[in-house]
Amino acid sequence: MEVDSSPALDAQRKAHPELGELLDKIQKHVNAKLYHQLTQDLLEYLTSPSFAATTPAVATELKEFFDGFVKPFEAKFDKVRWVQILAIVTKPQTPTAALEMVTPFEEAMSSDRDAKFAWQALKGEKHILAGQTDAAKELLDSLGAEIEGAYEVQAL
């Protein structure tokens, strides 16, 4: 049974006809509920040359695609992969907008150690880009201590 294509995917097909084959694979994996494959295809799609520029237009398009299509799959995806997707989508955003996108996922990422560490590093980066160095230092110092404790290593 085929599921109707998402409006977000339809908009992407119109905006990027050269990526139609990849969008078809994404739709196929959504229909079949193959979330690992869907994650891989989304990472490939989001890192395509169409989204390489860090322009306001790309930032808007990625945010709309994330909110309209990707976000509902959060619970289905591996949490570390989720943070990877979040990092790609937030890269062209303004630092403030990126922090607004990253912050709500703190609780969801806290149940997986590696995802939590990746999320904290991503949030620290966004704090730095926003000029919030005190918040970044506090978060990254805490992250360093957690990593040392988790992996029994000393940061250099």
- Tell me the per-residue pLDDT of 98-116, one tens digit each, with 9 for 90 and over: 999 999 999 988 899 999 9
Q: Is 3 exposed, middle or buried (0-12, 13-18, 19+ CB in 10 A)?
A: exposed
Q: The tokens of 115 are what?
A: 């995802």
pLDDT at 34: 94
CA 27 to chain CA centroid, nearest Å: 19
Contact yes or no for 130/103 (Cβ under 8 A): no
pLDDT tens-digit map of 68-102 = 999 999 999 999 999 999 999 999 999 999 999 99
Is pLDDT at 7 greater than 90 in this prediction? no
pLDDT tier, 4 (very low <50, low <70, confident <90, very high otherwise): low
- Segment (H or E) for 71: none
Average pLDDT value for the chain: 90
| Spatial separation of the C-alpha atoms in residues 123 and 136, rounded to whole Å | 8
Q: Residue 6: what pLDDT?
A: 81
- The per-residue pLDDT for 155 is 60
Cβ atoms of residues 13 and 20 within 8 Å: yes
Look at residues 117, 123, 150 and name the one whose alpha carbon lies nearest to residue 136: 123
For residues 65 and 73, the answer to whether their CB atoms sit within 8 Å is: no
Average of per-residue pLDDT across 33-38: 94
